[in-house]
Amino acid sequence: MSEPVRSTPGSLPLSRLAEPLLRRLSELLDRAAPGKGWRDLAQRAGSRGRVRLSPLDLEQCSLKVLEPEGSPSWSLLKLLGDRGCTVVELVEFLQALEHTEALQCLSHSGSLIGLPENKLRICIQPQPQNLTVGDALVLECGAVGNPIPHYQWFRNGFPLANGSKNVYMVTYVDVEHQGTYWCRVFNDREDQDSKKIEVVIGRKAMAVECAEEDLSDLQKPADLQEQSNDRPVATDKVALLIGNMSYWNHPQLKAPMVDVYELTNLLRQLDFKVVSLLDLTESEMRNAVDEFLLLLDKGVYGLLYYAGHGYENYGNSFMVPVDAPNPYRSANCLCVQNILKLMQEKETGLNVFLLDMCRKRNEYDDTILILDALKVTANIVFGYATCQGAEAFEIQQSGLANGIFMKFLKDRLLEDKKITVLLDEVAEDMGKCHLTKGKQALEIRSSLSEKRALTDPIQQTISSAESLARNLQWAKAHELPESRYLEFKCGVQIQLGFAAEFSNVMIIYTRIVKKPPEIVVCRAYVTDFALDLDVDPKEANKGTPEETGSYLVSKDLPKHCLYTRLSSLQKLREHLIFTVCLHYEYPGIEDTMDERKEVNVGKPLIAKLGLHHVFKNNNCLQTCCMANNPFHNQIESSPVATKYYVPSHCQPNSCPGIYHPNHICSDSIRQPEACSCNGTSRILASRHEVQNYSPPVEKSNVPVETTDDTVELEFLLSDNLRFSKQQ
């Protein structure tokens, strides 16, 4: 009689893992870098026929992000466990994703002790390929082992220069790619070769025979051809979200932070590459748009969302940076129509602009921009949060804020509908809101003729140089420093972790993970940050994320830590270097002991893109360049042709002051003593106005209106505006 099979920890289903461990794994997957998140894990697991994850399964997981304590990764891990996925299989998937932090988490928990993958083992073998010239070659090899294995691909006995990953890919093959392939897997202890497979490359046929009835199909009416249920596809989806709140010379806002955060989470569920930024100056906004343009290519869906101050003159919309002077003019702002023109030059498949700002006329700006005509395309959609000449409002309750537009948009954004149909329904929802009826109504402008939706699938084409640049830029803008452990001479060990709230806002958290018993008091904190970041020591090293101003990701951060919020990472000029200070005491000794360690984490998140440079590129149109106007005489000229007309009644001598880019008089920079977001009795506040705000010049650049519709607060907002119930 054969001996009974002894089960190892690796043969256990995931459902048998302890809940704290599953929670920790979920946290790591929820905030993982591109290519290592829960969707990537689901794709790996779904490629195994035994697991079988349907699109509905993934949708149910993604919708968990809308619940107060919901986690897509937690839902996925529970689903995999229920379907019999084992710990050893999870390790295979994580190693294929090269998710070292999650693997370390399993190792530290003891879940990997005794697993067979401690010995190097190839679990996914490459498969033979029969291709034609122009096809894509994709070979995959998967292995488990401890230490984590490395890979090297070979063809005809020679190592391949770009073959150091578990997947080897050639986007466009030719006959020279034919041959015998295999992969060598190795770590510090041993190595193995995969099985050798043949890749055969054939020539493409120059002509295709077809019957007469096949040709007749080409003459069928369009409505019959559409019965094939084919739907439009995107070659990629990218989005730039900008929320400006902390204005130097104008009323402060609150809603853009919440609106940008919520829209970021929703768009990522729709597979958008999202760059989300708060509080940008003029040069930073222009450079951010330049980087956004690099993400675009033929067939890409591009989405730009802006929340903040704005205005509309002569049919052109202008987004106002946080450093705009008072009064501001077109030279100080970004023209949306100019950005659209530059997007069209990329031959994008869909251009969506969601502008959550006021559209009142700017009486201080009489410059008329005569833009080159836009291309006639059927792919442009504008969603204006309010009508021309009207204001956009944000809702406020107990210090929290939402824009009216985003309140209704977020409830429908994930629906699989043509984007114009979706926005029409949002407009109907907004029309039922008693607080803003007669004050704000969504306006939609569109040239869209195809049934394109934000939910359209991505079908990547042959990788071009632009595509590679797009993915590189996106990856660079979302790269967080890796968590690390610091060892001090006294025997104390500190964990240093990082989380992203926005693409330019990062949370640093520290906690003591090991302390010798002879030390009675021990505290670690971070300090000595670069002056570029302007970190207030009074708001650093707090016991809760909320105390630092970070309300949106607090539930996703580890507990019992000290938290520091670093905003405006786009201003970081050098590597982020700071000091970790350790204070500790021994019993019977009154003196406090100190140790310090300097930490260099490179340039995290958006800091890598160098948005702090003044007008780094000239791709983004400078909206005014008139030599005779003192407000314009220092603005760089534009590569895109734009003409200007200044009416005779607005000559330079009539202008109340001179604006010098990149120079702000210190006397004119002041924070408002009271703004619309401070009063809890106000439900609605305009994107333009604030009560009791005293601008630094004699007359405000923005209109001032008030609204006192407070009686409907509970009816409208009771379930939408508490941070505890947000994503």
CA distance 619 to 285: 12
Cis peptide leading into 20, omega within 30 of 0? no
Pair of tokens at residue 205: 């046929």
- Under a CB-based contact definition with an 8 Å cutoff, are residues 501 and 521 in contact? no
- Under a CB-based contact definition with an 8 Å cutoff, are residues 25 and 113 in contact? no
Q: In what helix (H) or strand (E) does residue 303 lie, and over which residues does it extend? A: strand 300-307
Q: In what helix (H) or strand (E) does residue 144 lie, and over which residues does it extend? A: strand 142-144
Residues 6+ apart with CB under 8 A from 213: none
CA distance 714 to 429: 18
Q: Where are the beta strands (DSSP E) in 503-551?
A: 505-514, 521-527
Residues 6+ apart with CB under 8 A from 219: none
Q: In what helix (H) or strand (E) does residue 508 lie, and over which residues does it extend? A: strand 505-514
- Under a CB-based contact definition with an 8 Å cutoff, are residues 474 and 295 in contact? yes
Place of tokens 């958290």: 509
CA distance 411 to 725: 14
Instruction: Specify whether 688 is catalytic.
Output: no
Q: In what helix (H) or strand (E) does residue 275 lie, and over which residues does it extend? A: strand 273-278
Specify the DSSP class assigned to residue 394. E
| Distances 163 to 159, 170, 196, 515 between C-alpha atoms, Å | 7, 10, 15, 44
Place of tokens 């209704």: 408
Q: In what helix (H) or strand (E) does residue 152 lie, and over which residues does it extend? A: strand 150-155
**Torsion sign over Cα 29, 33, 35, 39:** positive
Pair of tokens at residue 198: 């043949």
Instruction: Specify whether 624 is catalytic.
Output: no
Distance of CA 595 to the CA centre of its chain: 37
Angle between helices 19-30 and 72-82 (to 10 degrees): 130
- Under a CB-based contact definition with an 8 Å cutoff, are residues 240 and 300 in contact? no
In single-letter form, the type of residue at position 338 comes to N
Start-to-end CA distance of the chain, whole Å, equals 57
Q: Where are the beta strands (DSSP E) in 333-467?
A: 334-335, 350-356, 368-371, 380-384, 393-397, 400-403, 443-446
Q: Which of 141, 183, 250, 309 is catalytic?
A: 309
Residue 715: CB atoms within 10 Å: 9
Residue 11: CB atoms within 10 Å: 15
What is the pairing mode between strands 593-600 and 562-566? unpaired
CA distance 150 to 152: 7
3-state secondary structure of 7: coil
Distance of CA 7 to the CA centre of its chain: 42
Residue 415: CB atoms within 10 Å: 13
Pair of tokens at residue 281: 């100056």
Q: Which of 335, 358, 522, 561 is catalytic?
A: 358
Active site residues: 309, 358
